[in-house]
């Protein structure tokens, strides 16, 4: 009996799991030396972090990372991985974008351009398998080149192409590439998800990445993307791969290089009220994986929601509880 009593006492004195928290990020007013506990600085190092990277280093299971939408993009590439970036059906791990922009672009240095003849210039980006060239903050007009083409295609002023793993650009008469604001896709993926469960990413714009805006790499379950825009990424706006199961609701993907949505492996993707544009690339490409499209919301007599639906409902409920803030970040 004494042994049982000791076991019970030991169990009662074990530290309980830390409650989920709100962690704030502001890339203008924030500071990574702050503690992330408040949306604005309150002195004594209380205030928002400056980077999403710093917030994710602190974050734990079921936390909510809240970004401020400022006039400047967040130029970061981040990964959500394993249990510390997962949640539960009742308390999903969330990234709330509030319309913020996550951006993977970098300026093309003037010295990187080489004149190749006539009015055409070229440069070699560090990552070349997929690439886009941006002009004044928007993807420039691209001339397609086939994999079997052996000759550089003709370019009109302000057009570009990716030929033999190099970027070619033709400026206007009398100008050089250095006289324009030209950017390329420098960072690989906006948000990579790997072996996570019950994750919600909402109200975020993801653009300018060399591969994908969001990549559910493998082992991603009960995950929701809601109100997300993925645009101008060099391969795909969203990629769902491996054995991942992702629900994508009211999202927009367009202007991406090879596909708006790419699926691979044994993945399963549910699209609900999404817009996949047929502009710069096909709306969907598949290297296996299944996709189910729902144009209308479920009715009252529909089957019971699956785990991803329960995660979505819990996330909506948590946003409605803003008047009762979560405990601050530790």
Exposed/middle/buried for 21, CB within 10 Å: 0-12, 13-18, 19+?
buried
User: For 164-206, what is each residue's pLDDT tens digit?
Assistant: 999 999 999 999 999 999 999 999 999 999 999 999 999 999 9
Residue 205: Cβ within 10 Å count: 22
pLDDT in tens, 112-155: 999 999 999 999 999 888 999 999 999 999 999 988 889 999 99
Instruction: Give backbone dihedrals phi and psi of 185, rounded to 5 degrees, phi first.
Output: -80, 105
Most confidently modeled of 143-147, 233-237, 313-317?
233-237
DSSP assigned state of 22: E
* Mean pLDDT lowest among 2-16, 130-144, 292-306: 2-16
pTM: 0.85
Using CA of residue 291, residue 200, residue 198, residue 81, what is the dihedral sign?
positive
Q: Is a pLDDT exceeding 60 seen at residue 272?
A: yes
Task: Grade residue 33 by pLDDT with cuts at 50, 70 and 90.
Answer: very high
Three-state DSSP class for residue 74: strand
Asked if 24 and 46 count as a contact pair (C-beta separation under 8 A), the reply is no
Q: What are phi and psi of 318, to 5 degrees?
A: -65, -35
List, in order, residues 6 or more apart from 169 with CB less than 8 Å away. 113, 120, 121, 122, 123, 133, 140, 155, 159, 160, 177, 182
- 10 Å CB burial of residue 29 (0-12, 13-18, 19+) is middle
């Amino acid at each position: 009996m004494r042994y049982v009593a000791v076991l019970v006492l030991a169990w009662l004195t074990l530290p309980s799991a830390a409650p989920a928290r709100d962690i704030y990020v502001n890339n203008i007013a924030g500071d990574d030396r702050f503690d992330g506990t408040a949306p604005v600085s309150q002195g004594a190092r209380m205030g928002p972090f400056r980077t999403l990277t710093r917030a994710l280093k602190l974050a734990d299971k079921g936390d909510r990372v809240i970004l401020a939408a400022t006039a400047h993009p967040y130029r970061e590439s981040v990964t959500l991985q394993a249990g510390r970036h997962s949640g539960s059906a009742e308390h999903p791990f969330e990234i709330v974008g509030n319309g913020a922009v996550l951006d993977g672009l970098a300026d093309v240095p003037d010295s990187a351009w080489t004149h190749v003849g006539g009015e055409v210039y070229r440069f070699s980006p560090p990552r070349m398998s997929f690439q886009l060239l941006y002009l004044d903050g928007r993807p420039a007009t691209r001339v397609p080149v086939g994999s079997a083409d052996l000759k550089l295609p003709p370019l009109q002023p302000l057009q570009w192409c990716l030929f033999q793993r190099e970027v070619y650009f033709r400026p206007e008469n009398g100008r050089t590439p250095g006289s324009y604001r030209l950017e390329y896709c420098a960072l690989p993926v906006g948000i990579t998800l790997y072996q996570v469960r019950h994750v919600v990413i909402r109200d975020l714009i993801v653009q300018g990445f060399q591969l994908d805006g969001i990549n559910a790499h493998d082992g991603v379950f009960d995950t929701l993307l809601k109100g997300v825009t993925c645009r101008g990424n060099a391969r795909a706006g969203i990629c769902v791969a491996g054995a991942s199961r992702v629900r994508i609701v009211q999202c927009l993907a367009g202007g991406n290089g090879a596909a708006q949505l790419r699926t691979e492996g044994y993945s399963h993707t549910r699209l609900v009220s999404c817009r996949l544009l047929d502009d710069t690339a096909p709306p969907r490409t598949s290297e296996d994986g299944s996709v189910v499209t729902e144009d209308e919301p479920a009715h009252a007599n529909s089957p019971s929601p699956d785990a991803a639906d329960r995660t979505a409902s819990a996330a909506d409920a948590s946003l409605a509880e803003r008047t009762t803030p979560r405990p601050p970040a530790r």
